[in-house]
Every structure is written in C-alpha cells, then in structure tokens.
A and B are shown apart, each in its own frame.
Chain A
Amino acid sequence: MSGRISVPSNYLTLWCCYLLNYLCFQISVYLCTSGMGEVILGMPGQWAHDYREKADHYTSKIGGLPDWPDLDIPVSGKLLLCDLCGGKLCLMAQIYAPLSMAERSIDERVIYVLGCMKKDCGSNPQSWRVLRLQRCKQDIESKDEPLKAEQPEEESTSVAEDKPTSQSSSVKVCDDEDSDSDIDLDDLAQALEQAATLASNSKKQDGTKHTRKIVEGPVAKKLIYDLTTPVLPCFYIYSQRNSSEGRMDKANFVGGSSISLKEIEKSSGNESEGESWEGEAYEYDKALGADRTYLKFKKQLDAYPEQCFRYSYGGNALFPVANVPKPGACKICGSARRFELQLMPPLLYFLQEASDDSSNFSIDGWTWLTIIIFTCPKNCCSGTCDEKSGNSCRCIVEEEAIVIQDD
C-alpha cells in the first residue's frame, strides 16, 4: 500500500516513479549520507594464541601489544603513558587504515587507540590516547588498490544506464524516520543526476576509497617479551561492509511473539463496540529508559550485533546521545578534525568474556558506550617530514577521541 502512486502526466515524474521502487532505498541514502560515507564494520575474527604475540603493522587487531613498524625514531615514552596516573597505557585497538586520495595515497597508515586500565582513569576521557602513524610518500601510486575487502555487487540495480554500482551497494542504511521526509520529485531528479555523476567520477578516478586488508592471522607468531605493559586479550579483526536493510528486520525480530497478520486483521475487524481509535498521529520512538537517538544507535547495532568498530572516513558517526561535544582542531595544521572511526560496545563484551580467566586487570572501569575518533582531514605530518626531497618518513601524530559514557 505504501508504494502506490498515481500515474502522473509529466515525463520526468513518470520516469522517477518507475525508479522509485528500486531507488527509494538508495536515493534516501544519498540524501542522508554525506558523499563518501560508506561504513565498514570491524567484525571479530580469530583469537590470538598468545596475547603478546607479534603481528605486523598491517594487521587490524584488538588488544595485545602494539606493532610498531620500523621507525627511525622510536615512539616517545610519554605518548605511551596515561595523562592522569602516569602508568602505562595498554593497546585497545590497532587499525590499519590506508588512504587513497586524489593527490596522494598513504599506504602505511595505522591508528592506535590506547587506554588506561586503572579503575579511576577508565571513566575519564583524558586517559585515552589515539595515535596516527603514517609514512608519507611523495610519489602518487596507481589508483587501483589491489587489496579490496569485499565486493558486494548483489545489490546493484540495473535500472538506469549510468547507475552507480559499487557505491550504491555498500552504503550506510538510513532509518525509517530519516528517509520519511518528502522525497520531492525535483530533488529526486537532482539526486539521480548527482548519483550519475558520482558513478562516472568513481569509474574515472578513484574517489576517496578506502581499502582494508583481510587478515586471517599473522604468519609469524613471535612473542614480544614486554611484561611490564598491561595487555588486553587479543583478537584479530576482519572487515565487512554495512549493508542489507533486510538483515536489520531479521535481527530485530524478537523470538517471542506469535502474532500473525491474519489475527490482527481479524481483531481489527471486530470493532463492534463503537470504539474507533481516532486522532492518532505519527509518534517518535520512546521507551522509559531509552530515547530516540539511543534507539537508532541500538537499531544499527542490532543489524550486526558483533561489530567491534565502525569505520567511515569522513562519514557520519553514530551517536548514542544527542549532545556530543564537537571535536577540536588539529594541532599542527589547525583544520577541524573529521570523523574516522568509532569503537562499539560489543568490543567490551568480548574483552570481558576473555578476561574472566586472567586476573591482571579489570575492565569494569570501562563503561563507555562508544569511543569516537576524529582525525585530521589533511593527514598532516609532525613537521619533521621533508616532502620536497621525496624522502619517505614516518611520523606519529596524536589525534582526538571522544568517549561517550554509559550512564
């Protein structure tokens, strides 16, 4: 019943109506997302055999010890110490996040999220530290990144001739409420044109596309003999694109209700007592303990209940509360920081499950709902890098993390 639209006379609107059934999903996504925001989820993979085993800096993992690449200058000590208590920080997440932009591509770019495990520091956002380590290269490499995570082509539609395929199949799913704003037909036409140009652009040159290497596990399982640093249980991450709205409906299914649609129609037909439910209007979701923003957050989580982090360079973060402080500006170049990734609560659950055996620490001091990491949009270097001479140097820059607590 929702898809019924009377046949208009205007050719443009007629064309749009045919496409509406296919494109409603994708177009509403284009209206919602900010261009290049596709979301990649970090799903949990194998556990490490030993929590202190060494991987390489191309691995994405949670816990364990940080794998520094060969650095000219080793990582300075105070970057690895907690601001509040002075103790050693432990690695929470190490994410390999290369970038390929139009001007330059940074292959060796890793983000380390470090946190303090002491009870008092855990709930204080100042005890978290995010480091971005990258190697700046001057030469522009080829556009075709050989290592792609997944190619979900199953959702590409073949309606229009220049329909975007790879981009539309892997975009973030919007909520019912967001996409329920009027899809004005003129806006629809505009959006279709935009989509077409995006598609042609993406085929000509790679836009800002981000690749992730699938890592099954490191080949050489050497141990790092550093017994002073606290270590979290370690597991590896594989990436997956956030897709399929149908999956969310299934995930939301509560295996309890045995109500069928036929019963409802029967019951609604039994209105013989003169009651009619009048005057109902649209109502936003509300529960006693959860507000609308949180319910949307939970809905995204329920689609992939095991997601450990969400990666979306330059995209939109998923906020569980309405008022979130804005990120600051990069200390080196002064530009406003942009969202890159956020850590999600299933991570804490997995770590807690694993830490039941070993008693080195307690993660119960951590009660965050999400940790949102903002990075410099220009990927600037710490100043000691000499780009003109073409030397490749490694620099390590501190970025910003906003911790949202679970009250």
Chain B
Amino acid sequence: MAERGGFGRGFGGRGDGEGGRGGRGRGGGRGDRRGGRRGNKSEEEKWVPVTKLGRLVKSGNITSLEQIYLHSLPVKEHQIVDALTKDLKDEVMKITPVQKQTRAGQRTRFKAFVVVGDGNGHVGLGVKCAKEVATAIRGAIILAKLSVIPVRRGYWGNKIGLPHTVPCKVTGKCGSVTVRMVPAPRGAGIVAARVPKKVLQFAGIEDVFTSSRGSTKILGNFVKATFDCLMKTYGFLTPDFWMETRFSNSPYQQYTDLLSKQATKAILPPTEEIPPVEV
C-alpha cells in the first residue's frame, strides 16, 4: 500500500510544530497586526478536522467562505476560516478585569475583546473570559474567527467604482445600546465613536454615518450592537434580491454524490457531460 500521510507526520511533527511559534511580532502602537500565518505552515497541516464541513474544507472541496454563507452552515472550527480567508487581521480592542467576590477575597479574571477582519467584507468579534490575559486573548481570537460574518456594502448615490458604504439604513441592538448606520457619500469617512469605528474599519466599510442610543458607556454592548448591525446588512431585502432564487445543492449533498464512486445509481451533478450516444 502506498504510504499514508497522516500518522507519520503526526508523530514526528509534534515536536517540530512547537518550535516554530516563538516569533511573535513586537512593536509599538495600536495599529493593526497582520496574522502571521506565513511561518507556521506546519501547524496548519496538523489540523485534524472534526466536523463534516472541516473535512470538506481540508480536502479542498470548498474554496470560499461564500459557499458556507450561502447555505448558512455553522462553522465550528476556526481552522476552516483560517484556511478559507487570506490576510485576516486581528486586534485586541480591550482587556478588562472582571471581578467576583468570594469568601477568600476577590477573584479576578480577564475579559478580552478581539475583532478580526480582512478589511474586505468579513469581520468577526470574539469575547472571552479567562484567568490569564494570554489565555483570554487566544480564546477570543478563536471565538472571533468562529463568528466571521459577511458584510454587505453598497452605494450612497452613483454606482461608480466599488461599493463603499452600507446599502441601506440598518440598526443593531445589544442590551440597551442601539446603533444605527446610515449610508454616507464617498469621502465622508467613518463617522462613529472610536470603538465601533475599529469594527467598521475591519469590515471594510469606508464611509458611514452612525448614530447610537442607550448606555454606550457599556462599551461591550456598544461593540456587540455594531456587530449585530453589520450582521443585518445581508439580512435586509432590497429590490436586487427580488428575483427568484435558484436553489443549489448544499456542499454536504454535492460532495457526498461525487465521492461515492461505488454507487451505480448516483445522481450525476448537472455539470457532468453526457457521453455521446452512438447511433
């Protein structure tokens, strides 16, 4: 039998993978940090997918996140998002201590808010509490990647160039905070408070007017309300979507048929050519 890939690499690879993690970028300022996946290829290869979607992504049958969004498949592994997106940047928005009163004094944990995005229509927000700061950040990055959503952009007026603003007025709510986003003309920039501005920058929206209401001092809710607002951009039915949908097979059905070579009565996918009939 030909040699199998997985196991041999699995045994030897464990030691190798842990060595390549030392180089984390250091630098001042609060700018965006690029996800440094370039040097860590060995870790990606060690991903053993758990869900069916993960197996499809790993085998290369699914090539873009849009196929996943089209069928609303839940993403349960962050490696899926890593594999399907390029240049996903992440940034820690805030780390706050969260305290709980116990009999032996106060127990402090750290809550990390991380936003990930590629600046071109995909953004995710992750919140994680943990006893150590590093654990909280790591966990929040993973949760943010699990929550990556598509953001719809549109035009304010003339449809010249690429979409730059929200397609319509949308509003999102979390707790008592409501955030309303209104389309803005080109050059207006993101007119928002510092905290939601970051999320909108990661989403790839260039111009927008925002208005907020409620107790925006609770910045956790403020950020989540902005994120909720972005989620709704694709939920809004505009006249572009009035045409009837042509339904296609979910990747689960599509690839089950293709991969079952044995079945003689397999349903042929429509892209296959019909062999010529001999007269």
Contacts and interface: CB of A to CB of B under 8 A. Distances in A.
A287 B259 contact: no
B263 A353 contact: no
A280 B7 contact: no
Contact of A256 (B10, B82, B149): B82
Nearest to A353: B6
B237 interface: no
A256 to B, nearest CB: 4
Interface string B234-263: 000000000000000000100110011111
A71 B68 CA distance: 51
A249 interface: yes
Among A182, A249, A267, A365, the most chain B Cβ lie within 10 Å of the Cβ of A267
Contact of B7 (A4, A44, A260, A362): A44
Given A184-B103, A257-B35, A267-B30, A277 B142 contact: no
A329 interface: no
Interface stretch (B50-58, B157-165, B183-191): B50-58
B5 interface: yes
B220 interface: yes
A250 interface: yes
Contacts of B76: 289-290, 294, 298
Given A258-B36, A259-B24, A364-B260, A283 B129 contact: yes
B27 A353 contact: no
B27 A263 contact: yes
Given A253-B21, A259-B33, A290 B74 contact: yes
Interface residues of A, number: 78
B88 interface: yes
Interface in A1-35: 1-2, 4-6
Interface string A176-220: 100010101100000000000000000000000000000000000
A264 B27 CA distance: 11
Contact of A349 (B20, B48, B128): B48
Contacts of A286: 127, 143
Contacts of A2: 107-109, 131-132
Interface string B129-146: 111111101110111011
Instruction: Name, among B6, B39, B92, B126, the residue most crowded by chain A CB atoms within 10 Å (CB to CB).
Output: B6
A273 B52 CA distance: 47
Interface in B92-110: 92, 94-96, 98, 100, 102-105, 107-109
B232 interface: no
Given A46-B7, A275-B219, A277-B220, A256 B37 contact: yes
Nearest to A350: B6
B66 interface: no
A228 to B, nearest CB: 15
Contact of A359 (B28, B107, B262): B262
A275 B25 CA distance: 27
A308 to B, nearest CB: 10
Interface string B208-241: 0000000001111000000000000000000000
Contact of B96 (A253, A263, A277, A298): A277
B217 A254 contact: no
> Is the contact region of chain B dominated by helix, strand, or loop, or is it mixed?
mixed
Which of B129, B134, B218 has the largest number of chain A CB atoms within 10 A?
A: B129
B1 A369 contact: no
A354 B132 CA distance: 41
A256 B218 contact: no
A285 B128 contact: yes
A268 B90 contact: no
A287 B105 contact: no
B118 interface: no
A353 B1 CA distance: 13
Contact of A305 (B29, B46, B139): B46
Contacts of A346: 48, 50
Contact of B127 (A184, A283, A294): A283
Contacts of A6: 104-105
Interface of A: 1-2, 4-6, 44-47, 49-50, 119, 176, 180, 182, 184-185, 235, 249-250, 252-264, 266-268, 270, 273, 275-283, 285-290, 294-295, 298, 301, 305-306, 345-346, 348-350, 352-354, 357, 359-362, 364-365, 367, 369, 406-407
Interface of B: 1-2, 4-7, 10, 18, 20-21, 24-30, 33-37, 39-40, 43-44, 46-52, 55, 58, 73-78, 82, 88, 90-92, 94-96, 98, 100, 102-105, 107-109, 111, 126-135, 137-139, 141-143, 145-147, 149, 194-195, 217-220, 252, 255-256, 259-263
18 contacts: A44-B7, A255-B36, A255-B37, A257-B137, A258-B25, A258-B26, A277-B220, A282-B100, A288-B149, A289-B74, A306-B10, A306-B48, A345-B50, A350-B6, A353-B4, A357-B2, A362-B256, A362-B259
Given A119-B263, A256-B90, 15 more contacts: A2-B107, A2-B131, A119-B260, A180-B109, A254-B141, A268-B95, A275-B195, A275-B219, A283-B127, A288-B149, A295-B143, A298-B76, A305-B46, A350-B7, A361-B262
